[in-house]
Structure 1
Amino acid sequence: MSNLGKRPTAWVDLTGSDDENSAPQPKQARVSASQSGSASQPRPSQSLNARDAWVDADEEDEILDLSQDADEGNGWVCVGAIDGKIVGIRYYNGVATMGEQVMVQREPGNPYDSNAIRINNVQGTQIGHLPRNLAAKLAPFMDSRSIVIEGVLAGEKGGWDCPINLKIYGPGEPIARAQVEAKLKSDRVPIRKLGIAAPKQPKQAVPPPQRRQMGYHSSQSSSQALSSQPEPLPELGIEHFVEHSERFRPRDVEKMVEEWGAGEDALSKMPFAEQPQDLVSTLLPYQRQGLAWLLEKENPVLPALGSTEIVQLWKRSSERSNVFTNIATQFSTQTPPVLAKGGILADDMGLGKTLQVISLILEGGPGTTLIVAPVSVMSNWVQQIERHVKKERNMKVLTYHGSNRKRMTHREFAEYDVVVTSYGTLGTEYSSKGKNAEKIPRKDGLFCINWSRVVLDEGHNIRNHATKSAVAASSLLATSRWVLTGTPIVNSIKDLYSMLKFLAVTGGLERMEIFNAILSRPLAAGDPRAEAILQSVMRTWSLRRKKDMKFVDLKLPELSEYVHRITFRKDEREKYDALQAEAKGMVKQFEAGKSKNGLDIYRHMLEVLLRMRQVCCHWKLCGARVTDLIALMESDGAVALTKENRAALQLLLQLNIDSREDCPICLEELHNPVITACKHVFGRECIEKTIQLQHKCPMCRAEVADAECLVHPAIEKEAEEDPDLDVETKSSKTEALMSILTASRRDPKSKVVIFSQWTSFLNIIQHQLTEAGMKYARIDGSMSAPVRDRAMTTLESDPDTRILLASLSVCSVGLNLVAADTVILADSWWAPAIEDQAVDRVHRLGQTRPCTVWRLIMEDSIEERVLEIQAEKRKLVGKAFQEKEKAGRQKTTRMGDILKLLS
């Protein structure tokens, strides 16, 4: 292993070149101290970007943002490889060994060659450059974002150069990929084919629909089937629906492969911690095991001399005991690497993650713990600490939140055992008054102190690493870092990257370029080595126990889940098929590259998708297709804020809300969503702050004079305010739902929660419940907290109120619904975690009755393909935790999911 540990002088005089193909070299070059190649990495808040700069002696380092986008290339396919070399390595102190993953980055600001492409090791330290002639051919492709390049050292470093294997990735879309390949060939790029094709199409993850004739359909005559007003339905027992539905076990646990991860048997044999003396509550056995794991992860130890143990993916070389190698990236160093302290506590919802962390605070030694939580659960932390910690312990807790809070110093924070704050407060203090570039530690506020530990509750809130919350969390100074989440992977493997970055892992996976090369793209291609690395990562940094594991022994009643398929009536099928034909036409336009505006076609696809999903529930949700909305999306520029245009903009805004789009400024989920006259949707706080600074839309630069120009969502109408609702407006889905309700009511103690994403659908169901004389309560986003509380109390205490209508977004987190024993999911979308959370409001500690979940799915519709996508996302979590998997592969982009649904 050449040059390992070699440290050249900080300044060198570079006056010549190796040969005509050598990469450009500066007359003076400097690598900043933080990028010197030491494996002792700085905290995330202090680490510099993975680029060096060409500077003069008296200037501070300027970090140039010149590389290919680190987040690019997900879902792309390998089009070939190049066997090349790195030149100029004697001028740089980048430590590297054969087989190591490296970063390939453009350097257009290089004064000696505008085509320069540099090679960095996983720590961001430069190794050298690609030769001039190869860089000249590749640079235009990198600059146009046509390709993404991965690099692996193919041999040992010599005195002058080092072999490198470059993998070239092109777009997954066939036409665009063919164009890139043709251009590579015409430009004589020395690329060789690897025989790697595009990933195979996923196998069907959900069994094909069984076209059974349900009792309430088969009893209808053909003429009745054509009518939207069928005869009254016969009452059917719940056994009928069980018999005519598919048993659904989305969260079954499969035995793990021993060498890949800890299975249920291994988890049951984990060591136990002692019961904390200052804790009032007695920990359950699995919670004592969790505490032991938490304490161990706060005190990690590198492999001992001569040990074959692997710790946080680091192993000690058997040949040279002073060398540590990361088994994921193959990066090697003589300097002992810094180990991350902390991890991801990913226990199922309801298993007591809060109590285990309180125990850790009591047992983990002195210091102040910072807990970052959503506003809705901040008070829960204070209450739980008061409830579970003995009074004589005198634990001091501070709630640090609100616009009137005092900016505290590190000495003032240190007076408390626990400080509880919100993600919003954290993000605001990180970037307030442009201070995001200010050095850390600061004089006051959350970034002035090195916390004993930082705990992110509902840690999946930072799953997008580019959001303000994620950047701020990773910038905190802390000895130990913890993520608490029951859903560590919500949409894609990239969710995990943000958590690893927050945990300050070392060895390369904390860099997006390396994470994509080692995990994201190989997993999409079904690479078993990547799956093994992912499972090793999760075994190392994550602990996940589930409610149905035998050793957990919560003694919860049985949970039975069913997919109940429903057949369209002829009139409903005609409406659905018309929308589907339009959708497929747009897909063909998009794939053929004929769409003139990518954002418009994306919005149009979302609109048709929404209508297809809604017509599965009830055609009234679609209304007449709003031609004004289509015309609005196709028009150029801003529109006049007339009454008609405001109504159309509100429809477009609601489309983005229903599709769960993100705010393009902060990249968080839409918060207080508004839309501009130029048809761009933002969180209100973000766009108002932008208007104060520049009075322009950050997306298209259109003039936005003031906040009065923003259009807010339409005010939701209550069901009784809608004169168009009547008993005759029934759909196949509402008929099936009412039949299940009627059957469940034969058990006098049974209570039901009906979840839907759309309050307008809840309105329709509510009207039909009223007509049927069924007493109900309701919770949705239009209600104040006291009104919601009264609805909860009514469901729990009133024996005649046996139905709760619930908005999925409002009720998926933080509520206890154990008064019910049946859940009906009236509609579905592609992120299964939200549905799982909703079900867990009912099936949790305190539940005493067997629980049943019904998923209502229209046969041969988009709803069945939604189940396929859900299965793929569950498979992704399964790869990490070895839960039961079904065939298929994950998509990593929203557009990928859309194209799958519409294909």
Structure 2
Amino acid sequence: MPQKRRKIHDDRDLDEEKINFGSGALDGQINTYTIDNVQKDDKTAALNGNQPLPISIVHDDSDEGVQITSDSEMREVCYGRIEGAEVMAFKVPTPKPGAISISSGFWPQVRIILRRRLGEKGNIIHVVDSTRLIIGTVDVNTAIGLSPLLDSNHGIRTTSRILTRARKDNDPLPGNDFHARYGLDLNLYGPKKHALGIGKHLSQKNLWLRTPLFVEAGVELFNPHVIKPPQPITQRAAVNLQPSYRQQGLVRTTEEIRNDVIGMFDSLHRSENLPEMDPNHRIITKLLKHQRQGLYFMLHKELTSKSDGQINNTSLWKEVHSVDGEKTYVNLITGQEEIEVPKQVFGGILADMMGLGKTLLSLSLIVHTLDVEAEEWAKLTPILSKDGKSTNPSRKGKTALPKLEQTPLVLNAKTTLLVSPLSTISNWEDQIKQHIKKGSLSYYIYHGSNRLRDPRKLAQYDLVITTYGSVASEFNHRSKKKAGSYPLEEINWFRIVLDEAHMIREQSTQQFKAINRLSSSRRWAVTGTPVQNRLDDLGALMSFLRIKPFDEKGGFAQFIMAPFKMCDPEILPKLRLLVDSITLRRLKDRIDLPPRYDRLVKLDFSDEERIIYDIYAKNASDRIKVIVGQRENSLSGKSYVHILQSILRLRLICAHGKDLLSENDLKVMNGLSKDSAIDLDSDGDDDFSCLTQSQAHEMYNLMKETCSDVCLTCVGKIGPSDTSESDGDSKGEIFGYMTSCYHIICPGCFPKYKSDIEEFAKGQKTIDCPICQQNIKISYVPLRQDIYDDERQARQKSKNVPKPVKSTIEYSGPHTKTRALLEDLNISRQKSKSLPPESPIKSVVFSGWTAHLDLIQLALDDDGFKYVRLDGKMSRTTRTLAMDTFRDDPTVLVILVSITAGGLGLNLTMANKVYVMEPQYNPALEAQAVDRVHRLGQKREVETKRYVMNDSFEEKMLILQDKKKKLASLSMDGEKGRIDKAEAARKRLEDLRSLFK
């Protein structure tokens, strides 16, 4: 009878209990597979590897976990079907002779063999059909996870087939040379005892096991990605983490998971009945009820817990007593059992919606612990935490930097380190002056080239405020062993607070790694959007907070991501338990805000504007038709450039006519009419072998304008850092790489991607891109911070964008939108004259383009408006001056704000009119910007207006927003990990068609 799984805690060497999976074939080993096996049962045999391999998979997250098994545990089971596997074929697969299809309109299914060549290094898995010939390879993503399993000596095998597919008139015959991608029905088999280890390995590679379409007769289906919830434990008993099979018909998409999780956050209601805590005497502002409750919550999460069954203040571990009185501790979510008391977590997530006073609440927490707790911490000798993680500055690969060990700590400090975006530092300073008794809190802005470098001097302050860019910059210099003093890692801070904590959501970035290396006693993540795009965003916060076992990417994937993706009905209650134990989340209905009225204003082009728009719209539509006719199933290379250029031109014309177009854009109109023919070759040759730095950065800029600036591999945002954030240290920094066919990869994913492509190419200099199938030269153009800045300045100069010094001859005058804005502003100005002694009506004007703000400035000057401006290119001092002037000067009625700079941490409650000049691809940007006005502290009714041109591309954007098609369906749709990239390209093409109908 099988024995229950049990964790053994002793000092024995457990190396023999580990399952070791590697990443390549073994030199000199004899492959048990021979080509004659094709005639047997079409099963893949594994290599008899016997060398230790780098990926270790045990049966739980601890290296001390062992499995006590019986013979039945060696019984072969089917683990499931690997989702999204594909054959990258260079020949049409040939069915077995006599194979029968379901009808004359379909090809028969083709049974295939997966083959690893002797002595071949890397992850390539060859595909063999019934002719015994290699017809292609398994797609790169699947091969990376599957090849180590096939190379192991643990009895892992596969059965696979290319399923029946529809015939087309122009289909080449089987055996002919032809490049295509075919869906692969790939089942994985092996001993039952290895199921959990293999499941964990695959999830770490973002491979997921689905319900198979076929299972061999007499073989049990045992899917490790369908996790059985832990059983209630009433006595000391072995915790059985073995999964039980549950029939699954669907897999949640990233968007569905995101909506579920956000809904769960918004429904948290435990905060309604929290006790209240009065603030420290240093706080001179009266706290509202929800803020006093918030202060209680945050202080409670920083208290040392007493043993009362729930053994720490996260409530995720329960103390269990056996009949003989022995104590163990069980994780309520994972079922993991520990003998030692799990380390307590001090801190959590403050996730109140924007506008509820998170800044004041955080300051109240900081000053509350200054006199006792912080001082006591500073007296202790610093000890390197066992949780401290050695870090690879870049992802593992051939070009990875050496491992960076944990920095020795110099001292404990009473200081709270506050990390924030640069744009919010002035708001923190304002809030300190407004809410804290003068002289009762010492603080220091750690930013700029002349900042303090002595850790002992920094430790004298109660609060140190720095930027994400400064932290990342120190980590970058330390990892490159540059000379200098970098004190942030040398101090064991009393508390670390991350403002706008979602900025660390991309775990492959230096920013995330740098923040995670900092040491402290207490940690708080402050963000109104803990989950922005996908569930992984929450995983990054778990890592920062050290919530075990979810702080490791593998643990979060195994216990949270996999069950969510596989529709486990138990996972949402578990996630709620996890989040509720560390999170405070209140919605705006907890406070009385003045009403907000949102209005969509549709405007008609003038006759001249309509003529210009129609010419470019016809040109864009015809381009799409030509491209669709040339490439039915793919979207890449020059085609992609054409489409993004066309879309950007139409959006710019909607915003301010031809004044926003570059000189190159205006050339398109020369000699062009609505009836002109389209020549795609007029913009240059479709040559993928000579991509220049300038072309790469220009293409990146187009992607950025359409929210397509995401990594091909991890789908994280790719972009240069704000140079003012990092004190100029980022100059020359590489923020991404572009392939010859215009895919972009982030620095974290690049080494692995490059290695996989080189192995796939087998020494050839050209390759059919595994994503878009274009034949390209294997080369990568680094996207560099300094070149990006130079290109951006050059683009600005090349545009017909009038600066105040330009003559009015070059300027066609205000556009329809600007005229509508001026009309609204003048109405507010007239009303303000009747308000004294009340403060005047002030307005915020948002635009996605700084060039558009330049044009609006001209119109404001001509109409006699006094204004200030805020955009991402301004220094901290200049931003602070602009905000102070807008707040304090009654004659300044308007602030012009770049929507990307205005979405983080600004307090614009001195205004109550909001104007959004053009719809954004990411509607969340608009919502965040507007919430900077409608928030705690607002005394007046708020009115927002969004200007949209009638019968234009902007209306199509609104439709896409309403349908919640992320990133306007022009880029990868935010799907993380195992997505069908070819299908994503087809979907993008279809969405593009709809935009131009």
Q: 1:432 maps to what in 2?
A: 477
Does 1:830 pair with 2:921? yes
**AA in 2 matched with 1:455:** V
C-alpha distance in 1, partners of 2:274/2:559? 30
**AA in 1 matched with 2:271:** L
Does 1:685 pair with 2:705? no
C-alpha distance in 1, partners of 2:894/2:437? 40
C-alpha distance in 2, partners of 1:649/1:606? 14
Q: 2:847 maps to what in 1?
A: 756
Does 1:284 pair with 2:288? yes
Distance 1:374 1:16, change over 3 A: closer
C-alpha distance in 1, partners of 2:468/2:271? 32
Does 1:579 pair with 2:626? no
Does 1:842 pair with 2:842? no
C-alpha distance in 1, partners of 2:956/2:305? 47
* Aligned partners of 2:885 and 2:892 also within 8 Å: yes
Q: 1:408 maps to what in 2?
A: 454
C-alpha distance in 2, partners of 1:9/1:170? 27
Distance 1:531 1:857, change over 3 A: farther
Q: 2:600 maps to what in 1?
A: 563
Does 1:512 pair with 2:565? no
Q: 1:134 maps to what in 2?
A: 156
Shift of 1:499: 1.4
Shift of 1:282: 3.4
CA deviation string 1:52-109 (max 9, x = no partner): xxxxxxxxxxxxxxxxxxxxx9xx7699xxxxxxxxxxxxxxxxxxxxxxxxxxxx99
Which of 865, 882, 886 is 1:775 aligned to?
865
Q: 2:791 maps to what in 1?
A: 712
Q: 2:6 maps to what in 1?
A: 3
Which of 626, 630, 648 is 1:610 aligned to?
648
**AA in 2 matched with 1:349:** M
Does 1:357 pair with 2:362? yes
Q: 1:122 maps to what in 2?
A: none
Report the 3-state secondary structure (helix = DSSP H, G, I; strand = E; otherwise coil) of the residue aligned with 2:599. strand
Q: 1:488 maps to what in 2?
A: 530
C-alpha distance in 2, partners of 1:399/1:338? 32
Shift of 1:473: 0.8
Does 1:549 pair with 2:578? no
C-alpha distance in 2, partners of 1:706/1:526? 42
**AA in 2 matched with 1:134:** I
Q: 1:423 maps to what in 2?
A: 468
* Aligned partners of 1:452 and 1:478 also within 8 Å: yes
**AA in 1 matched with 2:156:** L
CA deviation string 1:420-473 (max 9, x = no partner): 3332332232232536899xxx99722223222211122222121111111011
C-alpha distance in 1, partners of 2:426/2:686? 47
Report the 3-state secondary structure (helix = DSSP H, G, I; strand = E; otherwise coil) of the residue aligned with 1:811. coil
Shift of 1:2: 2.3
C-alpha distance in 2, partners of 1:709/1:830? 22
Distance 1:401 1:709, change over 3 A: closer
Shift of 1:294: 0.9
Does 1:500 pair with 2:547? no
* Aligned partners of 1:134 and 1:189 also within 8 Å: no
Distance 1:480 1:816, change over 3 A: closer
CA RMSD in angstroms, aligned pairs only: 6.3
**AA in 2 matched with 1:808:** I
Report the 3-state secondary structure (helix = DSSP H, G, I; strand = E; otherwise coil) of the residue aligned with 1:506. coil
* Aligned partners of 1:430 and 1:436 also within 8 Å: no
**AA in 1 matched with 2:497:** V
C-alpha distance in 1, partners of 2:421/2:946? 29
Report the 3-state secondary structure (helix = DSSP H, G, I; strand = E; otherwise coil) of the residue aligned with 1:370. strand
**AA in 2 matched with 1:2:** R
C-alpha distance in 1, partners of 2:15/2:886? 76
**Structure 1 vs Structure 2: percent identity of aligned residues?**
26
C-alpha distance in 1, partners of 2:421/2:643? 32
Q: 2:420 maps to what in 1?
A: 373
Shift of 1:538: 3.1
Shift of 1:850: 0.8
* Aligned partners of 1:148 and 1:169 also within 8 Å: no
Shift of 1:501: 1.1
Counterparts in 2 of 1:26-425, with a 5 A limit?
132-134=154-156, 196=249, 263=267, 266-299=270-303, 301=305, 304-305=308-309, 311-315=314-318, 322-364=327-369, 365-366=373-374, 367=377, 368=414, 369-378=416-425, 381=428, 384-385=431-432, 388-390=435-437, 395-405=441-451, 407-409=453-455, 413-425=458-470
Shift of 1:28: 8.3
C-alpha distance in 1, partners of 2:480/2:427? 31
* Aligned partners of 1:796 and 1:819 also within 8 Å: yes
Q: Looking at both structures, which has the greater relative contact order when contacts are Cα pairs under 8 Å and sequence separation is at least 6?
A: 1
**AA in 2 matched with 1:453:** R
CA deviation string 1:839-868 (max 9, x = no partner): 233223443321111223456765456556
Shift of 1:362: 2.9
* Aligned partners of 2:802 and 2:810 also within 8 Å: no
C-alpha distance in 1, partners of 2:302/2:733? 37
Distance 1:277 1:798, change over 3 A: closer
* Higher alpha-carbon deviation: 477-486 or 774-783: 774-783
Does 1:669 pair with 2:719? yes
**AA in 2 matched with 1:293:** F
Distance 1:631 1:578, change over 3 A: closer
* Aligned partners of 1:650 and 1:711 also within 8 Å: no
What TM-score does the superposition give when structure 1 sets the normalisation length? 0.63
* Aligned partners of 1:13 and 1:27 also within 8 Å: no
Q: How many residues align?
A: 721
- Give unmatched runs, 5+ long, in structure 2: 21-31, 33-44, 66-81, 87-115, 126-147, 161-180, 224-245, 378-413, 669-679, 738-749, 755-778, 833-839, 968-972
Distance 1:342 1:40, change over 3 A: farther
* Aligned partners of 2:301 and 2:313 also within 8 Å: no
What TM-score does the superposition give when structure 2 sets the normalisation length? 0.57
* Aligned partners of 2:47 and 2:153 also within 8 Å: yes
- Give unmatched runs, 5+ long, in structure 1: 42-49, 51-72, 80-107, 118-125, 139-143, 206-250, 675-681, 691-696, 877-888
* Aligned partners of 2:346 and 2:522 also within 8 Å: yes
* Aligned partners of 2:472 and 2:511 also within 8 Å: yes
Which of 538, 546, 551 is 2:579 aligned to?
538
C-alpha distance in 1, partners of 2:261/2:788? 57
Distance 1:829 1:312, change over 3 A: farther
C-alpha distance in 1, partners of 2:421/2:554? 30
**AA in 2 matched with 1:752:** S
Report the 3-state secondary structure (helix = DSSP H, G, I; strand = E; otherwise coil) of the residue aligned with 2:540. helix
C-alpha distance in 2, partners of 1:283/1:166? 47
Distance 1:796 1:407, change over 3 A: closer
**AA in 2 matched with 1:5:** I
Distance 1:161 1:582, change over 3 A: closer
Report the 3-state secondary structure (helix = DSSP H, G, I; strand = E; otherwise coil) of the residue aligned with 1:685. coil
**AA in 1 matched with 2:594:** P
Distance 1:591 1:464, change over 3 A: farther
CA deviation string 1:266-324 (max 9, x = no partner): 4232111233134343333222211111112223648844x799945445569888454
Distance 1:706 1:328, change over 3 A: closer
Q: 2:492 maps to what in 1?
A: 450
C-alpha distance in 1, partners of 2:18/2:203? 36
Shift of 1:7: 4.2
**AA in 1 matched with 2:655:** C
**AA in 1 matched with 2:917:** A
C-alpha distance in 1, partners of 2:124/2:11? 22
Shift of 1:742: 6.5
